[in-house]
Amino acid sequence: MPDRPTPLFSHSELAAAFALLMPSGPAEQLADRWFTEFASDRTDHNGWYLHPHSWNQHSQQATRPTSRPNRKESQTESQDDLLFAPFTPADVEGLLFRLGDTHLALVALVSDETFERMRQVRGMTAAGADRNRQQLQRAVAAWRRRWLTEDGNAWRK
């Protein structure tokens, strides 16, 4: 299969994904900056960012099966909660102002439509993508409990 540009996400989808980890105002501003920096000349007719290559070619780890340690569900959940634990609100912009599989995983949480599109882009099986979604949902929920107000519109003081 030839390597070709891959439409990944729109500005609004990226802003919604960023808003999972930061208040919506700063998330929108960061998405503006992201699209200006990375996508100004790489959008399709729908306004989606076009990655210059097939994402599967770019990120083969998404397609490789990995062995999962034999852990109890509660151990897995607590490990998932720690995914963003090393980061503070001051770090989140640096985490998001790049492009990686984390972005696609966050965009996948925005809607069922983006979940399916990101699953296909990332070359994941339905079961693998669903497991990844559950893990990331737990990690995002833990982050939000720690750093964002209940409505998600501001940082906790």
Residues 109-137 have pLDDT tens digits of 999 999 999 999 999 999 999 999 999 99
Per-residue pLDDT tens digits for 133-155: 999 999 999 999 999 999 999 99
* pLDDT bucket at 34, cuts 50 / 70 / 90: very high
* pLDDT bucket at 66, cuts 50 / 70 / 90: very low
Which one, of 61, 43, 141, lies nearest residue 100 by Cα? 61
Query: Residue 136's pLDDT is what?
Result: 95
Label the pairing between strands 50-51 and 6-7. Answer: antiparallel
CA 140/CA 146 separation, integer angstroms: 10
Q: Which two tokens stand for residue 145?
A: 């409990």
Q: CA-CA distances (angstroms) from residue 51 to 44, 56, 75, 81, 135?
A: 10, 11, 36, 30, 25
H runs (alpha helix) in the chain:
11-18, 24-38, 55-58, 73-81, 89-96, 101-108, 112-122, 126-147
In this prediction, residues 44-66 reach a mean pLDDT of 65
**For the CA atoms of the chain, what is the radius of gyration?**
16
Query: Residue 51's pLDDT is what?
Result: 86
The DSSP output letter for 53 is S
Which one, of 118, 156, 132, lies nearest residue 22 by Cα? 156
Mean pLDDT of the chain: 85
Query: Residue 10's pLDDT is what?
Result: 94
Which run of H or of E encompasses 51? strand 50-51
